[in-house]
Structure 1
Amino acid sequence: MRITRIETFLVAPRWLLCRVDTDEGLVGWGEPVVEGRAETVRAAVHEMADLLVGEDPAPIEHHWQRLTKAAFYRGGPILSSAVAGLDQALWDIAGKRLGMPVHRLLGGPVRDRVRVYGWVGGDDPGRLREAVAARVESGLTAVKMNAAGTVSRSPTVREIDGVVERLAEVRSVLGDDRDVAVDFHGRFTAAAARRVLPLLEPLRPMFAEEPVLPEFGHLLDGVVGAGPVPIAVGERLYSRGEFLPALQAGIAVAQPDLSHAGGISEVRRIAALAETYDALLAPHCPLGPVALAASLQVAFATPNFLIQEQSIGIHYNTDAELLDYVLDTGVFAFPDGHMHRTDAPGLGVRIDEDAVRAADRAGHRWRPPVWSHADGSFAEW
């Protein structure tokens, strides 16, 4: 078997998919994207295609090594995301070639179902109760919310109290049998995070995500030590090497993204590394169907897995929905707050190619919002 062609598809609302064809008719799908930089990743995928077209897709690790290292300059979100999507597609082909799901190729399942959570807002607290109630009604047993919208570099008393009030309102809807995670989104300084985190502990958040920006990872140990709230980071870390200092600082939850951090191959290694630090895995995934399918395959085979993010119903998806691009939407159903394991081959999802090609003809130019503080200076989104 040989790889004959690699195509990419820019699909709404903000995703990029890739298709890897072989001369025996097997096709693999991947999702290589950086939100807001999809066109740039698309170019990187087609550059990397030179290393794959004409090759046997089977030696996935051999291809991963070449894709990540052969160009001399390595890492970063663009290159790692391009590799991630191609890696997903190669695993998809491998599973289909052998007639088994990827999780069996990773050593076999360690669980029958994967707990998932959904986003409920938090930038604007006005409709939080309504959003949480809707998520509970859909079957979810866990949600994630933003801690705040724009936050002053030195938060005011009102801003600090607002974070606690938001979480308290969500907890009041969820009760004690469901979970809520709080996403700081890198909007807080380390000093501000150390002040706020201890105030959240009485409300028992499942974890506090990205309390400081990734470039301030050297300050993480102080943030972790500020109180008992479990700290989660990783959506903007792209390799084992980048996760190591965070794990050494004592984070409780590692959040690599299957479409950013080198795909299935590297995230499996990140999970194993996290396990040596008694940390759990909760892959980041506010993305499309292939990214979620790949994440689930890893989750089914990873002992230290905690919970899976998924984008069904997320506020970003105004032009299209994850389920618009799949033929078998049932694989992503979560009536009991969990997505259940199947033995469908490869990544376990059948992509609606007609819908993907139609969406690509329209394309998209999604960009993240650009925020400012009251004085006009740049604010983290």
Structure 2
Amino acid sequence: MKITAVKPFVLNAGIFVKVETDSGIYGMGEAGMKRRGRAISEVVNSMASDLIGEDPFRTEHLWQVMFRGGFFPGGGVQTSAVSAVDIALWDIKGKALGVPVYELLGGRVRDRVACYPHNGDPHRIEDLLASCRKSQDAGWKFVRWGLVDPKGKELLEPSRAVRYGIEQVRAVREELGEEIEILVDLHTRLDPAASIQFCRGVEPYRPFFVEDPIRSESA
């Protein structure tokens, strides 16, 4: 089996890649980055010549070719493109072997997973508390919201957002008690110093996790 075409599609719902083969089997993949669709599409097109004619079963080799093939390391746009193609290659392998992809990655581990809701507009603590109470009353074990600046939705002033975020976590913990699990997404909007300040501030209120505390280039 050989790869015959690599086709990106930029849609409102996301950025997708179709990898076709000479056997008639094709795979579909999706880029995690929802923006920069044209840029991701062009990266996929630029990698196509390295992929066409190759064996799609060589997923690790082709990942190395795509990710390490250039002199300079890639950023988010390149890794999103590589990810979409890689998912499509695994899709081909699963279809060709007649098994779900999870069987190729070690098999099923559990029968169920925990889920969580996204809670209301967090710009006003009263609204956030009402949304979290509603989730708890509905039987949810988790509540989740994102870091915001209480003074506006367009810009985020880090110090003010950190203080407000700590106050939100404190208020939710005191309102909902110890059984609820609190999840907060910082959306990579803080530098390391501000993120550390936030994490130390919420530590007494035992958040279940703090998501995306810093940007990847700061890690």
Larger Rg: 2
Distance 1:215 1:27, change over 3 A: closer
> Which amino acid letter does the alignment assign opposite residue 152 of structure 1?
E
Whole-angstrom CA distance in 1 between matches of 2:192 and 2:120: 23
SS in 2 for 1:21: strand
Matched, 1:23 2:28: no
Per the TM alignment, residue 84 of structure 1 is displaced from its structure 2 partner at its CA by 0.6
Matched, 1:148 2:148: yes
Per the TM alignment, residue 210 of structure 1 is displaced from its structure 2 partner at its CA by 3.5
Give the equivalent residue in structure 1 for 2:211. Answer: 209
Aligned counterpart for 1:176 among listed residues 166, 174, 178: 178
> Which amino acid letter does the alignment assign opposite residue 142 of structure 1?
F
- 1:121–1:146: 8 Å Cα contact kept in structure 2? no
Whole-angstrom CA distance in 1 between matches of 2:77 and 2:84: 11
Taking the TM superposition and a 5 Å limit, the aligned residue runs for 1:87-236 are 87-120=86-119, 124-125=123-124, 127-132=127-132, 140-149=140-149, 150-153=155-158, 155=159, 161-171=163-173, 175-217=177-219
Give the equivalent residue in structure 2 for 1:8. Answer: 8
**Structure 1: which 4+ aligned runs deviate by more than 6 Å?**
none
Unaligned runs of 5+ in 1: 218-381
Whole-angstrom CA distance in 2 between matches of 1:139 and 1:86: 39
Whole-angstrom CA distance in 1 between matches of 2:22 and 2:106: 28
SS in 2 for 1:116: coil
SS in 1 for 2:116: strand
- 1:120–1:132: 8 Å Cα contact kept in structure 2? yes
Unaligned runs of 5+ in 2: 150-154
Give the equivalent residue in structure 2 for 1:48. Answer: 47
SS in 2 for 1:44: helix
Bigger mean CA deviation after superposition, 137-146 or 107-116: 137-146
- 2:135–2:143: 8 Å Cα contact kept in structure 1? yes
- 2:10–2:37: 8 Å Cα contact kept in structure 1? yes
Distance 1:25 1:171, change over 3 A: farther
Whole-angstrom CA distance in 1 between matches of 2:51 and 2:60: 12
> Which amino acid letter does the alignment assign opposite residue 7 of structure 1?
K
Distance 1:48 1:123, change over 3 A: farther
Per the TM alignment, residue 37 of structure 1 is displaced from its structure 2 partner at its CA by 0.8
- 2:122–2:128: 8 Å Cα contact kept in structure 1? no
SS in 2 for 1:187: coil
Per the TM alignment, residue 162 of structure 1 is displaced from its structure 2 partner at its CA by 2.4
Per the TM alignment, residue 85 of structure 1 is displaced from its structure 2 partner at its CA by 0.5
Per the TM alignment, residue 129 of structure 1 is displaced from its structure 2 partner at its CA by 3.5
Give the structure-1-normalised TM-score.
0.49
Superposed CA offset, 1:308-339 (max 9, x none): xxxxxxxxxxxxxxxxxxxxxxxxxxxxxxxx
SS in 1 for 2:113: strand
Whole-angstrom CA distance in 2 between matches of 1:152 and 1:207: 22
SS in 2 for 1:5: strand
Per the TM alignment, residue 130 of structure 1 is displaced from its structure 2 partner at its CA by 4.6
Identity %: 35
Distance 1:194 1:52, change over 3 A: closer
Per the TM alignment, residue 116 of structure 1 is displaced from its structure 2 partner at its CA by 3.2
Distance 1:138 1:104, change over 3 A: farther
Distance 1:130 1:94, change over 3 A: farther
Whole-angstrom CA distance in 2 between matches of 1:176 and 1:119: 19
CA RMSD for the aligned pairs?
2.8
> Which amino acid letter does the alignment assign opposite residue 89 of structure 1?
A
**Number of residue pairs matched by the alignment:** 213
Whole-angstrom CA distance in 2 between matches of 1:82 and 1:128: 36
